Chains A and B, each alone.
Chain A
Amino acid sequence: MKKEKPKLIREDGLRHDGRRPDELRPIRMEVGVLSNANGSALVEYGKTKVIAAVYGPRELHPRHISLPDRAVIRCRYHMAPFSTEERKNPAPSRREIELSKVIREALEAAVFTELYPRATIDVFIEVLQADGGTRTTGITAAALALADAGIPLRDLVAGVAVGKVDGVLVLDIDQLEDEYGEADMPVAMMPSLGKITLLQLNGVLTPEEFREALKLAEKGIKEIYRMQREALKKKYVEIKPEET
């Protein structure tokens, strides 16, 4: 039995959780949360919670998959069994394998892989709690983890999803809006270079709506990018010299 579609845009024009259509969920970021990884970050978009760990550049085994002129990036997007309402089988699903590839390509555009020929950079993205927008949260976290690992990047990558619910374009959609909305468009960008590294669209948008949605995503990404920069710098500002 499918549940009845809830009202996604309330009478007063706000969304089901009280946000304005162009408002992000509360975002929290922390860099350097794991000590065993070379770089790591934890990012939360509302109830969505994702941790990313980066290892490398390091030697690649098996050798034959290495490239002579640049580093290989390997990316694993994975949802923890406890991340969803019903237990998720921990084996990588078709969806997770595809998302791993899409995220890898979104990050690859930013990394100077040519500096590390024959090596590998491993990115692990673990979804701890899923409430919509996990792939974009994952990209935001992975970019922070890459920077934290000291891997040269053209720019940080930040992502956010735009959706259409009850005929209204909304920023940073959550699980409910994704399930019952008409469209879902995840976007990732390198904001200071103005380059898009991921663009997917699930559902239907008119050309005008698409342009509008992309603008909305850019606005959200700029905001997230500002927070990413703050989070990275915070790691160093916090370590104050001890008073002696």
Chain B
Amino acid sequence: MSNEKEYKVYVENRQLVIPGEVLAEGDIEVTSPFIYRLGNRWYSSIIGLVDVQDNKLNIIPLEGYYFPKVGDLVIGLVIDIGITNWIVDIRAPYKALMNASDVLNRQFNPIQDDLRRYFDVGDYVLAKIALFDRVHNPVLTLKDKGLGKIVSGKIVEIAPSRVPRVIGKRRSMLNMLIEETGCDIVVAQNGRIWINCKDEQLEDILILALKKIELEAHTTGLTDRVRNFIREEKSRRGIE
């Protein structure tokens, strides 16, 4: 008996692939929901960049909505208030629910408590997805460190598919942004970024840098280019 796995990979690492493209044949390990199998062949179902490591394949999508996953950090926008919960937009195909009992952390009486006192329509909230499956809409929770209403700073929206690039390999991009601008940055999985800056000029530069990352996400050497961009902007505006 041989342990040799028989497989053929037809794509290179970081290659741009489109739906219907044959990626590989044979014994392949797949970690992306966007690779599907037909007979002995593996196809891509989406536009993205492939990650090839021997017989392990993954696709990083370049387009698409945010799809909720339990445990994800998201920034939601309160859009409606129910009797015992808030309806929150998380830029997903489904509206999220945030229960009053979870937020208040105590027994809760809808007659006495006015939910508007805690979250009103238009408020942003940093939360985690507690529950989500095919049958139920996502449920948010605030029971973790640092979660809650966002009362300062600004929210920048980028395409959710660009989030991995803003964070970078081992947080390299995010650490660089924090280092260069000195701002507090929280990147949520649904493509909303909460930034908190001391200086308005730095805030502007950071927003421009984030938009640059969004536009050039599929190119290589981006971290260095963005760093240069921030430094240039800083010297052009005469701030240190």
Contacts and interface: CB of A to CB of B under 8 A. Distances in A.
Interface of A: 38-39, 56-59, 68-69, 110, 112, 115-119, 147-156, 190-193, 229, 232-233, 236-237, 239-242, 244
Contacts, number: 100
Contacts of A229: 18, 21
A147 B19 contact: yes
A39 B18 contact: no
B63 A39 contact: yes
Contacts of A148: 47, 63
A72 B28 CA distance: 32
Nearest to B45: A152
Contacts of B95: 59
B232 A236 contact: no
Interface in B83-105: 93-95
B16 interface: yes
B80 to A, nearest CB: 13
Interface of B: 16, 18-22, 33-34, 36, 38, 43, 45-47, 61-65, 93-95, 134-135, 161, 212, 215-216, 218-222, 225, 228-229, 232
A153 B219 contact: no
Contacts of B34: 152
The A interface, classified by DSSP as helix, strand, loop or mixed, is loop
B interface majority secondary structure: loop
A107 B221 CA distance: 38
Nearest to A243: B225
B22 A150 contact: no
B161 A150 contact: yes
A43 to B, nearest CB: 16
Contact of B218 (A59, A115, A153, A236): A236
10 closest A-B pairs by beta carbon, nearest first, are A150-B64, A150-B63, A155-B20, A152-B45, A153-B19, A119-B93, A57-B93, A241-B219, A192-B20, A117-B134
A241 B64 contact: no
Nearest to A230: B18
Given A150-B47, A151-B46, A236-B62, 14 more contacts: A112-B36, A116-B93, A147-B47, A148-B63, A149-B63, A150-B161, A152-B33, A152-B45, A156-B18, A241-B221, A242-B225, A244-B225, A244-B228, A244-B232
Contacts of A232: 18, 47
Contacts of B21: 192, 229
5 contacts: A56-B65, A150-B47, A150-B65, A152-B19, A229-B21
B225 A68 contact: no
A237 B49 CA distance: 13
Contact of B65 (A38, A117, A118): A38
A112 B64 CA distance: 14
B93 A59 contact: yes
Contacts of A119: 93-94
